Each structure stands twice: as C-alpha cells, then as structure tokens.
Amino acid sequence: MPNTRRTAYFNARLLDPATGLDAPGALLTEGSRILDCGPTLFNDGLPDGVDAIDLGGLCLAPGLVDMRVTIGEPGEEHKETILSASRAAAAGGITAVAMLPHTEPVIDDEAGVEFVARRAREAKLVKIFCYAAITRKLAGVDLTEMGLLARAGAVAFTDGGHAVADALVMRRALSYASTFDLLIVQHPEEPRLAEGGVMNAGEVATRLGLAGIPREAEVIMIERDLRLVELTGARYHAAHISTGEAVEAIRRAKRRGLRVSCDTAPFYFALTEVDVGEYRTFARLSPPLRGEMDRRAIVEGLRDGTIDAVASDHTPQDQDSKRVPFAQALPGAIGLETMLPLVLEQVHRGHLSLLQGLDLMTRRPADILGLPLGRLAAGAAADLVIFDPDIPWRVDVDQFRSKTRNSPFDERPLMGRAVRTIVDGRIVFDAS
C-alpha cells in the first residue's frame, strides 16, 4: 500500500532558494511528496489526522545535494561503505549524493551502476546516484559506452580524481556526450605539471621542503577544455576549482555563452596552504590548498554566481594512508558532516546570504546533474533538512558517522548544523 501518512511542519523558517522564499511558514507532506507549503499554510489551524511537528523557528529547507562524494564500496569498504556514507550524509543534512566512479572495480559498465543503485536501496537512507567513468578503467584512452551507461542511471561522466589528459580523447568524449546531451566532469589538473607535487607550489612548500604543484596546472587544463567545449558544443563541468585564474576562466566562458559550470569544496574557501602547518597530512588534498588570494577569489566566485555549486569532495582515507610522512600520504579529506556548517560560516561572515549559500547546495547542483530535487514545492520529493543556523559547536571527528577521521577541520569552532534530515518523508537523521 502507498504511504499516505501526512506530517505538518509548522512554526518554521521556510527557505527555498529556487523561489527566493525566506519567511515564517509551514509545510505539509503526504507520504514521500510535499503536499503544500507556504507562509499562510495552517493560518486557520492544523487539520485533523496529521502528525504535527513544531519546529520552534528552526530553518526548513530542501535537502542538500552533494555532487562529489568518494565511497570505498566496492573494493575499499574499510574506508567507507555506501551505508556509512549514507549515515554521514544524513547527519550533515544531505539527502542526495553523487558518487564518483573510482571504485575497485571502476564504475565503467552497466553492472557497476546497477550495483550502486541496489546497495543504496538496501541502505534505505539518502539517495545515492553515481557517475560513470569517461574512459575504461580510468586509463584515459578508450571511451566508455556513455549512452548505455546513462540509460542505466549514470548522472554524468568523470574519471574522478584523474584528469582526462589527452586532448584528442577529451575531444572525442565531449563530442560523444554532446550527441546525448550528457555532462562531462573534469578533474582540472595538468598531470605532467602536477607530477610529484604534494602541495601548492610557493613559499610555504619551499619552507617545508615539499614538492609543489603550480596553480597554473589547474587553469591550463580548464582553458584547453574550454576550447574543446567551444569546438563540440558539449556540456562541461570543472570540479573542485581552487584558484582565482580558474574562476576567471569560467567567468569568461559563461559570458561567451558556453555550456559550462563548476563547483568548489569548503576546503578551498575555508582553508589555505598555511593550514598544512607542520606537515598535517589531513590537509593534503587534490587539488592542494592554495594561498589567501586564491581563497578570496573562490569566495568572490561563490558570491557572484560564477561558481555554481559547493560539493563536499568527501574522500575518506584510513589511518595507514594518512599517518605517514606528508609526501607519502594519500590526498583527500572527509566532508559530508561539515559542508553545511562551513557554508553557514561564510553566511555568518557576510560573504553570502543564507539563500545564496543554500542554493549552492540544493537547486543548483540538482539542476547541473538533471535531478528533480532541491526545491520546496507541491509535488516535489519530501527531501528536507531542518537546521539551526546559530547553534555553536566544535568539530569532533570521533563523533562523525563516517568510517574514517581524516578531516582538516577537527576541533574547529563552527556555528550552525543539521538537526533533522528527511528523505521521501522518512526521518533518516534526528539529533535530538
């Protein structure tokens, strides 16, 4: 039997970036869908036969959509499973994630896409979508069957943390993708320039005696790809950009009318290369943390809309991968449970409005991936986050739901976090 149970959330601060709604009001769900919402709903009193939840003025927004998440399953379940990642996402107010394909084996065929869908259904928590690889085994040579993979459920195509370095292969991928109006997502880093580097090239790397990755490695790859986008007319997305030059390149491309978008991760607007400190391996990332001027450029790109989305770039690594000398550590950090609070940090500092910050994590990533999510509207999925934007807390990675603890934000004081997360009308996280 279909679920027709009705739940009324009232005395809420409704926030819907898609419509610009920011007002006191209420929302009514029936089963897995939103039935109605708005500032005047229930002005004449609550209807009979509903489960009524008084939010006491807390914020009620569409559930967050995280478009860049690494999960260890299949192949590295000791780092993260679909279940553990789902729990961490729910605790962070995230109701849908897009999983990268660099698993073992790589998600480069229909069986891989179907495996992820099956395991997500078994977990019964957040919605998990997956990318498929652009090239077989992420080798950068032979293209995958993108048309068939899209039909199987792949939301877009990327080689994950590997750049498609060969210009001819990227041209073919963009041409193939444009035939089916599919999205190509690039890790923008010229691999030969980045080879051997472990942090941002510059004074800090020199002082620490570490090999650097020049900032130019990012923008060179983006500029090349933008020429190929112009040639093919394809849809293109630059992932986790970290430099001011990359922001400016995307800004110019948008002005020219190219079908391009980009995202960044909280690491690149909340930290700088200085946070590597005394060889803190939890701050070894790909791309690496940059300088203060780049951090400011990323914030400005978020503010003016050049950067389309914020993704957690959640990359779990176990202790054996991080408790080693800096140059030997694997790059990456977890981020599912800190994405919302770190965007709220920018809101509290006056760099973004609350609706701007939420838009970067709801409607805009959903639209990039073609998902019917990220909105408060009658008939939409009842995927919701209830959060307190002003509650102070301190990051404690030992309390996280993720299997790993590699966060550079451990012990950082923050303000604001998710209180309850709802997926298809079901409560999947409750902090009370």
**Structural domain contains residue 179:** yes
pLDDT of residue 195: 97
Residues 183 and 227 in one domain: yes
Boundary (domain end) residue, out of 321, 348, 369 = 369
Q: Identify the helix (H) or strand (E) that includes residue 191.
A: helix 191-194
pLDDT of residue 47: 87
DSSP 8-state secondary structure symbol assigned to residue 351: S
Residue whose token pair is 């790397």: 205
Written as one string, the DSSP assignment of 308-347 is -EE---B----HHHHSS-GGGSPP-B--TTTHHHHHHHHH
Q: Which of 362, 365, 426 is nearest to 33 (CA)?
A: 426
Distance separating alpha carbons of residues 47 and 34, to the nearest angstrom:
16
Classify 7 in phi/psi space as left (phi over 0), alpha (psi -120 to 50) or beta.
Answer: beta
Residues 160 and 32 in one domain: no
Residues 276 and 219 in one domain: yes
Provide CB contacts within 8 A for 426, sequence distance 6+: 32
Residues 54 and 71 in one domain: no
Residues 27 and 84 in one domain: no
pLDDT of residue 16: 98
Residues 229 and 273 in one domain: yes
Check the CA dihedral 190-194-200-206 and report its sign: negative
**322, 324, 329, 332 alpha-carbon torsion, rounded to 10°:** 20
pLDDT of residue 54: 97
SS3 for 37? strand
CATH number at residue 179: 3.20.20.140
Distance separating alpha carbons of residues 388 and 341, to the nearest angstrom:
10
Residues 330 and 393 in one domain: no
Residues 264 and 230 in one domain: yes
**Structural domain contains residue 1:** no
Mean pLDDT by 10 residues, the chain (432 residues): 82 98 97 96 90 97 98 96 98 98 97 96 97 98 98 98 97 97 98 97 97 98 98 98 98 98 98 97 98 98 98 97 97 98 98 98 98 97 98 97 97 98 98 90
Distance separating alpha carbons of residues 420 and 432, to the nearest angstrom:
8
* Phi and psi, residue 120, nearest 5°: -65, -40
pLDDT of residue 3: 67
Distance separating alpha carbons of residues 282 and 112, to the nearest angstrom:
30
Q: Which of 332, 339, 313, 350 is nearest to 395 (CA)?
A: 339
**Structural domain contains residue 243:** yes
The b-or-e profile of 234-243 (16+ CB within 10 A means b, else e) is bbbbbbbbbb
- How far are the Cα atoms of 32, 45, 60, 382 from residue 52, in angstroms, in the given order? 16, 11, 15, 15
**Structural domain contains residue 374:** no
Length of the chain in terms of residues written: 432
Boundary (domain end) residue, out of 348, 369, 390 = 369
Q: How far apart are the first and last CA of the chain?
A: 30
**Structural domain contains residue 313:** yes
Pick the catalytic residue from 313, 359, 383, 388: 313
**Structural domain contains residue 375:** no
Q: Which of 288, 314, 158, 137 is nearest to 225 (CA)?
A: 158
One-letter amino acid for residue 425 of the chain: G
Distance separating alpha carbons of residues 286 and 161, to the nearest angstrom:
8
CATH number at residue 387: 2.30.40.10
Residue whose token pair is 């293209």: 143
Supply the pTM of this predicted model.
0.97
Catalytic-residue membership of 313: yes
Residues 337 and 396 in one domain: no
Residues 421 and 347 in one domain: no
Residues 316 and 399 in one domain: no
Count: domains in the chain: 2
* Residue 364 belongs to domain spanning: 65-369
What HEC string does 147-163 produce?
A: HHHHHHCCCCEECCCCC
**Structural domain contains residue 376:** no
Residues 278 and 216 in one domain: yes
Residue whose token pair is 């609350």: 354
pLDDT of residue 2: 57
